[in-house]
Structure 1
Amino acid sequence: MINLGKLNNMSDTVFTETLGEIYEHSPWVAKKAAVYRPFSSVDELHKAMMEVVLNAPVEDKLELIRAHPNLGDRIEMSDDSNKEQQGAGLQNLSQEEFHSFQSLNKEYMKKFGFPFIFAVKGKTKDDVYQSLIRRIESTETQEFSIALTEIDKIAGFRLRDKIIEEANV
């Protein structure tokens, strides 16, 4: 865990390296958020990072969404994604469950052009599966917005797991 005070005093380069994976394979979010320091809380840092994403060009947002792995896939992914998916039971799917996820993920990707994003922390594989079934019926505009909201949730979980605020030290 990192102390918020130390994070505020890091060089921009070290700050970006330290928080570069908060938004999956997208260190540009941390790099752009660094200019808003100092942060008085993890929530304030999270809001700054969300603002960076909100104000990014649509192409960058799409690239951010596409940087995420399909849920339930058996591929190499970031340590954070591995832990999150394991917590929801997505790394231990039966063959039948794996094929069901794979089929729905393929259908979702074909329809929207980006992977299904769901903040899995505190959820079960059934929660994820049921959400995937529901959301595949959404419009592309709805799903683009939902995906970014879910990515922001994931980033918030990751920040809270990584940073200690001074009051807690």
Structure 2
Amino acid sequence: MAKTVTLHTLQIVTFSTTLSFAEVISRLDNQIGKETTRGIPVSVTRAVTSKEDLEAQVNNFVGPSGFGYFNEFNHGRWLQLYSVSTQAVVYVVGNPLIAQSMLQHDLHGALNIPPRLLVLEKQDSAGTEVIYHLPSSVIALNDDPKLKAAAEGLDSKLQALVESITAVES
């Protein structure tokens, strides 16, 4: 048995807003089509037989942001049992059509696709943070320029999503 450990620098992005946790979650749910589509079902990728069919199916399930809802982990709910009252939910969002633009170059990127967003209520309910791993820092792990360009494209799309859900309108 062989074991390899590779050192790598991870970049973490944090957006901070004065918006309430509930408002940020509501905006995120809207942008990823959570309430209208109930997420991208596993059957979408199992039942398709062509790229065109996959594209049509995925496009039916993504929200206005171009991302779809896959899953969520509500850590805040169970942490309350340990007297931690902060709300904290990890969302898994993505789009197989975006994913293929990276995975065709290096399947190791699948370890971090689809991306995850941590939506975290600030102390004393003073606003919300949205935190995520910068996709290019965890997906583009080799020198392939096409992989790097695709991962940086995901960086931009994810940033646009987070900016839209954390923006304070004046």
TM-score (structure 2 length as normaliser): 0.28
The structure where helix makes up a greater share of residues is: 1
TM-score (structure 1 length as normaliser): 0.28
The structure where strand makes up a greater share of residues is: 2
